[in-house]
Amino acid sequence: MSSVAPAAPGLPASDARVIAVVGIAHSVSHFFHLILPPLFPWLKEAFGLSYSELGLLVTVFFVISGVGQSLAGFLVDRVGPVPVMIGAIALFAVSAAVLALAPGYAGLVLGAALAGVGNASFHPVDYSILNRKVSAPRLGHAYAVHGITGNLGWAAAPVFVVTIAQFAGWREAFAASSLLALLALLVVWLNRDALDVPVHRRGHAAEPVRGLPGGTFDFLRLPAVWLSFGFFFAYAAALGGVQTFAPEAARLLHDVPLQWVALCLTIYMLASAGGTVIGGFLARDPARAERIIGVCFGSAALVAISIAFVPWPGGLVPVLFGVMGVAGGIANPSRDMLIRRAAPPGATGRVYGVVYSGLDVGMSIAPPIFGLMMDAKLPALVWLGIAFAQATLIAGAFRAGRATRARDAAPDAV
């Protein structure tokens, strides 16, 4: 695997600049996760689509992103993260323009596919820049900002596209999203020197993975890697349900006013961002990561079950979304700590690529399944499915933690 020269400790201003620019780029990637689902009511009416057909658009996005993400780490090592980041944001701008001009369902699929290609590289790109350009004392702050800006991108997308769609139209909402991506592209371009990471492109073999023979793919034999992949798969399945059909399912169950449906998702994402700040303090002790995940996602699962069965007044539903968001946000830093512990020295980049692709696989499978539930007029089942995925996260976290500790305790893991 190509090696990247470590950066010297940066000055505070330099660190802040890198963290801010990477955060802006990351927020744009998350923004593009959600430019389609909030506009499903408009697209359904415009093209006469079913809920499962709409869910398939999200599947296209995340299948392509998942396949690309597992390969993107190698591309980043070969050409450097900055060119890949610039190309990815440019693809976002193009994809939104294609969606704005789509004459039918095929155009929507093409736009979703292009956005998926753009999204594929962001975790390898972001972590490559942060790990090399931010000084060690501030790396924790960099990870926190990275997570928060992602949540803010999720929170902004529904309000942004729905507001424009209500006053101008859904095509104009996609066009405005394209302009937003171009603005982010300009920011990255103007700061490209600050983000630049030198790479060695030739003559470097893969770094050996601790406890395994040297080899590019030997890390795939570690149980902790696949348990972490499964954890992210379940996390994405729950999140995919929340981001796509949960607001509409809640509207059908509890007569939530239509104008509040997109607001539910925004509240969830803002609450998640706030919870992430709290979770950053709680995650300082890696040994309690699994317990934090268990309490938080257990609480979120109970809220989801209550939405399925308790006749809550519609005005209270956005508050319940906020409670779930806070719980998930608190768990997020512990989740990231769990994954960092699973990555052995010598295979960090490769592990991030594979493990984070579990997010895309889960997000690709969940929406059409939840869409079928909606087509079958079973909105309560959507919420039960979300609760089941959240409960699965608890078991996955404890199993991944045990596998990591067993690997670290092995005689050859030194």
Closest Cα partner for 293 from 392, 403, 411? Answer: 392
Closest Cα partner for 97 from 105, 88, 108? Answer: 108
Q: What is the pLDDT of residues 103-125, one digit of tens each?
A: 999 999 999 999 999 998 887 78
Asked if residue 144 lies in contact with residue 277, where contact means CB atoms within 8 angstroms, the answer is: yes
Q: What is the DSSP string of 246-291?
A: HHHHHHHHH---HHHHHHHHHHHHHHHHHHHHHHHHHTTSGGGHHH
Asked if residue 406 lies in contact with residue 390, where contact means CB atoms within 8 angstroms, the answer is: no
User: What percent of the chain clears pLDDT 90, i.e. is strictly above it?
Assistant: 40
- 223 or 387: which carries more pLDDT confidence? 387
Amino acid 202: pLDDT: 46
Asked if residue 4 lies in contact with residue 77, where contact means CB atoms within 8 angstroms, the answer is: yes
Query: CA-CA distance, 76 to 39, in Å (whole number)?
Result: 33
**Cα–Cα distance list, 252 to 57, 63, 241, 261, 368 (Å):** 22, 29, 15, 10, 18
Amino acid 257: pLDDT: 85
Does residue 206 carry a pLDDT above 70? no
Closest Cα partner for 345 from 278, 408, 290? Answer: 408
Query: CA-CA distance, 167 to 109, in Å (whole number)?
Result: 25
Amino acid 408: pLDDT: 60
Closest Cα partner for 364 from 71, 95, 58, 108? Answer: 58
Query: CA-CA distance, 295 to 157, in Å (whole number)?
Result: 29
Strands, E assignment, 114-228: none
Tell me the two tokens of residue 102: 């789509």
List, in order, residues 6 or more apart from 285 with CB less than 8 Å away. Answer: none
Name the pTM for this structure: 0.72
Amino acid 342: pLDDT: 65
Amino acid 139: pLDDT: 66
Query: CA-CA distance, 28 to 111, in Å (whole number)?
Result: 16
Residue 245 phi/psi, 5-degree rounding, is: -110, -5
pLDDT grade for 10, boundaries at 50, 70 and 90: very low
Amino acid 244: pLDDT: 83
Q: What is the pLDDT of residues 145-174, one digit of tens each?
A: 888 898 789 889 988 999 999 999 999 999
**Highest mean pLDDT: which of 234-248, 301-315, 355-369, 394-408?**
301-315
Write the single-letter amino acid at 403: A
Residue 409 buriedness (CB in 10 A; 0-12 / 13-18 / 19+): exposed
Closest Cα partner for 396 from 308, 306, 289, 268? Answer: 289
Closest Cα partner for 331 from 207, 221, 195, 232? Answer: 232
Does residue 279 carry a pLDDT above 90? no
Query: CA-CA distance, 396 to 146, in Å (whole number)?
Result: 24
The sign one gets for the Cα dihedral 72, 74, 78, 82 is positive
Closest Cα partner for 90 from 156, 183, 160? Answer: 183
Does residue 345 carry a pLDDT above 70? no
Q: ∠ at Cα 82 (120, 131), nearest 5°?
A: 85
Closest Cα partner for 345 from 277, 414, 291? Answer: 414
Query: CA-CA distance, 320 to 311, in Å (whole number)?
Result: 13
Closest Cα partner for 56 from 32, 40, 72? Answer: 40
Q: What is the pLDDT of residues 17-44, one digit of tens each?
A: 999 999 999 999 999 988 998 899 899 9
